[in-house]
């Protein structure tokens, strides 16, 4: 898998994002794209997947401004169901010599699904560059076991609906796991199936799509297995870098009364910090999630 | 200094936020507040301070929904100058039993200054609670020296303009500073002057106002002293807790071509994680900032 140059956004829309998200420019209206809610853009319950909303917001900003994505904070407002067609409108609210401030709205009819604020930016040749943290030590992905969801219980995943159709995860035990930092854990992830076969490259959108696991770490910080309903998905883009697998280093920060926050670093296999992400979520234990799923059946 | 209960937002607007930000409800239009750009809401150059925009977005969300702020990501679009009057409009785009999804826009006439996405949420009595990380060890604030800006050079601060009129900072050397984590540093901060004298309490808005220092840590991660122009200020609210001083534990994550990102943990003196924040910024070295300031004179 190769990474397209961060400075280059060919045709404004990367090949991998066109393939993963199915984004198509509106034939008439500038700044507008469309996509269909196909099964791999849904959660296992057939509803719109939050990581896909963030991915769409990142890719749409690049498509409309012609600059690489720098950051996006994507607020998840309402859901949508498999088969619906989503309109994505990008507004450039401020434009500088090397950076654009943008807002992206996704909607079905007059139903607002998500609103994103963010920037796209062209790196400056004389600008500062550097990385603060270092990648944690974990076993290689080949030595790690498949990870199938919070609590490692049988989630009864339906093979034909859900983002797990195109993304796989492996549990990556931290060499230096600290007993006083219970929300700190790591997973390897990569695209699979048709997406991996084409090897079309990583992108900010792909990282945003794969990194939507922060609620898992927040629940671990509370001492339980669980996940949550995301209120937002946010990503900040770092170094470009090639990688087959991406290490998600998760850190659950804080939860109060069922609402919590946390962080994720996305590392390439050779230790580049590709992106960082944050999320707030309404939390649920694995037991609550299984009970809810049983009631819905 | 006391902290008002996170579950209680009296009259929708906390006393400290009314005092710090001067927010006043519009007498007619629901969901609209106003404030004047007084000197302590500006940077030292007399322009609107990014930390104040985040603070206004957090306080406005609480005022309009009657729930405590959970998170806000505030995109800084255009600037304003001292003396201008700012209109703040809050839209509730989705409302649940214990959480509201909101958007806040600040403007002067038809000039958009900032757009924020975020949530306010009422803690659930049966909801998960916990904290992942632990507070780093630093000397007590009384044993720390005043901190006056990046590079510890003379920034020629004008005594009557700028947020430093109401906030003070002290450099807090980390006991366990890691040589492989150059962007990791800490500062003690608290309100001062009239704001401290009234001892009206901390709030999410006050924390957002004080925590706007992430670009400093990003520059350190690049091995230089500097700061930056924020593209956004984001805050996620954690545990309630009393504190006179607040420890800002900063972590510069990544910079590429002059644009970078980082993180801040806000700790109470007794080790509660009050909030976490993130920012993206256009970076500048201290030398570039001093040269720009000399040209502007």
Same domain (yes/no): B31, B112: yes
CA nearest B135: which of B3, B292, B265?
A: B265
Same domain (yes/no): B205, B66: no
Same domain (yes/no): B197, B270: yes
Task: Give B149-164 pLDDT, tens digit per residue.
Answer: 887 666 665 567 888 8
- Using a CB-CB cut-off of 8 Å, the residues of chain B touching A257 are 121-125, 127, 129
Same domain (yes/no): B82, B158: no
Task: Give A188-242 pLDDT, tens digit per residue.
Answer: 999 998 787 766 679 999 999 999 999 999 999 999 999 999 999 999 999 998 7
Query: Is B127 part of a structural domain of the chain?
Result: no
- Using a CB-CB cut-off of 8 Å, the residues of chain A touching B133 are 181, 183-184, 251, 253
Q: Which of A93, A121, A149 is the last residue of a domain?
A: A121
Q: Which residue of B has its CA nearest to A184?
A: B132
Domain that holds residue A113: 10-121
DSSP 8-class letter at A11: G
Query: Is B3 part of a structural domain of the chain?
Result: no
Cα separation of A18 and B59, whole Å? 40
Q: Which of B121, B149, B169 is the last residue of a domain?
A: B121
Nearest CB to B256: which of A77, A78, A129? Answer: A129
Task: Give B199-233 pLDDT, tens digit per residue.
Answer: 667 999 999 999 999 999 999 999 999 999 999 99
Interface probe for A, chosen from B254, B286, B289, B291 (most Cβ of A below 10 Å), is B254
Nearest CB to A258: which of B93, B123, B224? Answer: B123
Does the beta-carbon distance from B280 to A231 stay under 8 Å? no
Cα separation of A58 and A203, whole Å? 9
Interface probe for B, chosen from A107, A111, A132 (most Cβ of B below 10 Å), is A132
**Domain holding B18: CATH number?**
3.10.129.10
Q: B248 and B227 in contact (C-beta within 8 Å)?
A: no
Does the beta-carbon distance from B256 to A239 stay under 8 Å? yes
Beta strands in chain A (DSSP E): 24-25, 32-36, 69-76, 85-95, 99-108, 111-121, 130-131, 167-171, 184-191, 226-230, 232-237, 246-256, 259-268, 273-285
Does the beta-carbon distance from A253 to B132 stay under 8 Å? yes
Same domain (yes/no): A149, A291: yes
- pLDDT level of residue B1 (50, 70, 90 thresholds): very low
Query: Is B131 part of a structural domain of the chain?
Result: no
- pLDDT level of residue B178 (50, 70, 90 thresholds): confident
Give the A:B interface size as CB pairs under 8 Å. 263
Q: What is the mean pLDDT of chain A?
A: 91
Same domain (yes/no): A270, A180: yes
Query: Is A43 part of a structural domain of the chain?
Result: yes
Nearest CB to B258: which of A78, A127, A257? Answer: A127
3-state secondary structure of A86: strand
Query: Is B180 part of a structural domain of the chain?
Result: yes
The arithmetic mean of pLDDT across residues A41-68, rounded, is: 96
Query: Is B21 part of a structural domain of the chain?
Result: yes
CA nearest B35: which of B119, B114, B121?
A: B114
Q: How many residues does chain B have?
A: 297
HEC readout, chain B = CCECCCCCCHHHCCHHHHHHHCCEECCCCCCEEEEECCHHHECCCCEECHHHHHHHHHHHHHHHHCCCEEEEEEEECCCCECCCEEEEEEEEEEECCCEEEEEEEEEECCEEEEEEEEEEECCCCCCCCEECCCCCCCCCHHHCCECCCHHHCCCCCCCCCCHHHCEEEEECCCCCCCCCCCCEEEEEEEECCHHHHCCCCECHHHHHHHCCCHHHHHHHHCCCCEEEEECEEEEEECCCCCCCCEEEEEEEEEEECCEEEEEEEEEECCCCEEEEEEEEEEEEEHHHHHHHHHHHC
- Stated pTM of the model: 0.95
Same domain (yes/no): B147, B117: no
Same domain (yes/no): A186, A51: no
> How far away is chain B from the Cα of A167, in angstroms, using its nearest Cα?
26
Same domain (yes/no): A257, A145: yes
Number of independent structural domains in chain B: 2
């Amino acid at each position: 898998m190769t990474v397209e140059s961060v400075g280059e956004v060919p045709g404004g829309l990367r090949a991998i994002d066109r393939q993963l998200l199915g984004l198509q420019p509106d034939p008439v209206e500038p700044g507008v794209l469309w996509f269909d809610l196909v099964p791999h853009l849904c959660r296992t319950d057939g509803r719109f997947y939050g990581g896909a909303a963030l991915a769409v917001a990142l890719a749409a900003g690049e498509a409309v401004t012609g600059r690489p994505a720098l950051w996006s904070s994507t607020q998840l407002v309402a859901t949508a169901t498999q088969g619906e067609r989503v309109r994505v409108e990008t507004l450039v609210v401020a434009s500088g010599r090397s950076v654009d401030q943008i807002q992206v709205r996704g909607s079905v009819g007059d139903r607002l699904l998500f609103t994103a604020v963010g920037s796209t930016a062209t790196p400056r040749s004389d600008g500062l560059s550097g990385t603060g943290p270092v990648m944690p030590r974990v076993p290689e992905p080949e030595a790690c076991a498949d990870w199938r969801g919070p609590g490692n219980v049988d989630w009864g995943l339906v093979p034909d609906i859900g983002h797990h159709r195109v993304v796989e995860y492996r549990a990556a035990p931290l060499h230096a796991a600290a007993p006083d930092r219970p929300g700190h854990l790591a997973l390897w992830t990569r695209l699979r199936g048709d997406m991996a076969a084409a090897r079309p490259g990583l992108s900010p959108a792909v990282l945003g799509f794969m990194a939507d696991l922060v609620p898992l770490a927040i629940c671990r910080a509370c001492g339980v297995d669980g996940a949550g309903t995301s209120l937002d998905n946010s990503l900040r883009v770092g170094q470009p870098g090639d990688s087959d697998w991406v290490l998600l280093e998760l850190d659950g920060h804080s939860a109060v009364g069922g609402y919590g926050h946390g962080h994720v670093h996305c590392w390439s296999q050779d230790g580049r910090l590709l992106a960082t992400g944050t999320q707030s979520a309404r939390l649920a234990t694995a037991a609550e999630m299984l009970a809810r799923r049983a009631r819905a059946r």
